[in-house]
Copies of this chain bind each other. A is one copy, B any other.
């Protein structure tokens, strides 16, 4: 499929990339709600109607951007995870690697973070294909838990209360996809850590730390350290 591409095909790919680049820049500046085909066309010095050769309309373009954002975030998390495992380091360092990378990504792209974890754009449904990068991101985060468990280094909370079975059922899809051999409490605390990660980043990125948390990075690290303990990683 690769070699004998015609000039037309090559130009088409290039223009597609240019459109996406401009759209991404607009998104970063003004947010999803303000994304406009006409203003993108203006920046590209094209007629607005020309964009319809490349995307089916505004919603299709937005979908492409959302998918790009998911992919970029998942890629960044996977990259950070790979790096942490190639370097020397203990469980804590490995656990912190992905959260730090995710935070850095989000701080650099607040609107794209909002596109993924903020209020859904009203009247618009996110494409199904986001499931794959979403799972990749979660897997990168939880890899230290999985590996610590395989080595028998994971502290597991023994929960004896009655909610065990119901909780297990409520978390079945997550266990199956990410933590097949873990105790219910481990799965539950993985979800807890996930919620904490998203929460602490969203609060920072959406401006809620203003005048209250003066050093977001420091507090972020302390929070994710707690999470390491919570999910059972030995420090």
User: Which of A's residues lie within 8 Å of B, judged by CB?
Assistant: 30-31, 33-34, 110-111, 114-115, 117-123, 163, 166-167, 169-174, 177, 188-189, 191-192, 194-200, 202-203, 206-208, 211-215, 218-219, 221-223, 226, 230
Contacts and interface: CB of A to CB of B under 8 A. Distances in A.
A166 B223 contact: no
A34 B123 CA distance: 10
B119 A170 contact: no
B123 A114 contact: no
In order of increasing CB-CB distance, the 3 nearest A-B pairs are: A199-B199, A114-B119, A118-B119
B207 A223 contact: no
A202 to B, nearest CB: 6
Contacts of A200: 192, 195, 199
Given A198-B199, A223-B192, A226-B192, A215 B166 contact: yes
22 contacts: A30-B122, A30-B123, A31-B119, A110-B119, A115-B119, A117-B203, A117-B208, A120-B206, A163-B221, A163-B222, A167-B215, A170-B215, A170-B218, A171-B213, A177-B212, A189-B226, A191-B219, A192-B223, A195-B196, A195-B223, A198-B203, A230-B230
Nearest to A211: B173
A151 B171 CA distance: 37
Q: How many copies does the complex hold?
A: 2
B163 A218 contact: yes
Contacts of A211: 173
Contacts of A174: 212-213
A167 B223 CA distance: 11
Given A170-B215, A195-B199, A195-B200, 5 more contacts: A33-B122, A114-B118, A119-B119, A120-B206, A199-B202
A59 to B, nearest CB: 15
A166 B189 CA distance: 28
Given A199-B200, A230-B226, A213 B117 contact: no
A209 to B, nearest CB: 9
